Amino acid sequence: MASNYTDDWKKRPEPIKKKVIMCGETRCEEGRHSFKTNMRKKAARLEKKTYRNGSCICCNEEFDIDWKRIDNRDLGDVKYLVSKLKLEAVRYDFWEIPVEEKDFDTAKKKGLLLLRKEIRKRVEKALAPPSHKIYQDGRQTPKSGNIIYYAQYAMATCCRKCVEEWHGIDRKKQLKKKDIEYISGLILYYIKKRFPTIKEEGLLEEPIIKR
């Protein structure tokens, strides 16, 4: 069965899996930047202590991003957040590049009902502990295999570093219940927005929950 979560997917560039997208990737000339502090630079490590850089780490350009507004962490204001997330190369790509068809098909079978539970489990396991308690924080989210992963990159919820960069939550602290709810809400927003044909009820009786 052909998937057509978006009408023009065949005209679009090759799927994400075949493209290697790096988290701190920049294509400034195309208007796609990165606001994540490069902690590999010692000065940045000592001075900043946070992954939120505010301006592009490559071209140094400052953008009109209302960080205070973003830090309200209001799901009702998610459109604003997304408009700013797309300034970043990695977020933009995960919004715009087609996903693997099988990943979409599996999600469709699960339905939103199961996906909601799966998202929650994923956030609790992969993101709730503080950064230093997560094995290789920054690498815990595969780039394909589940639409939740695509959502995580697109919404800057792939690792505690990106969560700190965009959502202003200290990576050294355990996520609170309300943070888990907010992050889960962001992931669900992406799924509903990008794949509006996924229905509430899927076709699966037993949940396939891959953690």
Which lies closer to Zn ion via its Cβ, residue 118 or residue 137? 137
Q: How far is the CB of 206 from Zn ion (least distance, A)?
A: 31
> Can residue 123 be called a binding residue for Zn ion (CB under 5 A)?
no
Q: What is the 3-state secondary structure (H, E, C) of 136-161?
A: CCCCCCCCCCCHHHHHHHHCCCCCHH
List Cα–Cα distances, 104 to 15, 36, 52, 91, 98, in angstroms: 12, 29, 32, 18, 10
- Window of 95-103, 125-133, 157-165, 190-198 that interacts with Zn ion by CB under 5 A: 157-165
Q: How far is the CB of 205 from Zn ion (least distance, A)?
A: 34
Question: What is the phi/psi pair of residue 65, to 5°?
Answer: -115, 120
- Window of 32-40, 77-85, 89-97, 176-184 that interacts with Zn ion by CB under 5 A: 32-40
33, 108, 122, 143: which one binds Zn ion (CB under 5 A): 33
What H or E segment, with its residue span, contains residue 80? helix 78-85
Token pair in block for residue 86: 């797309």
Q: How far is the CB of 20 from Zn ion (least distance, A)?
A: 15
- Window of 9-17, 22-30, 128-136, 186-194 that interacts with Zn ion by CB under 5 A: 22-30
Read off the amino acid at residue 7.
Answer: D
**Which positions touch Zn ion (CB under 5 A)?**
28, 33, 56, 58-59, 158-159, 162
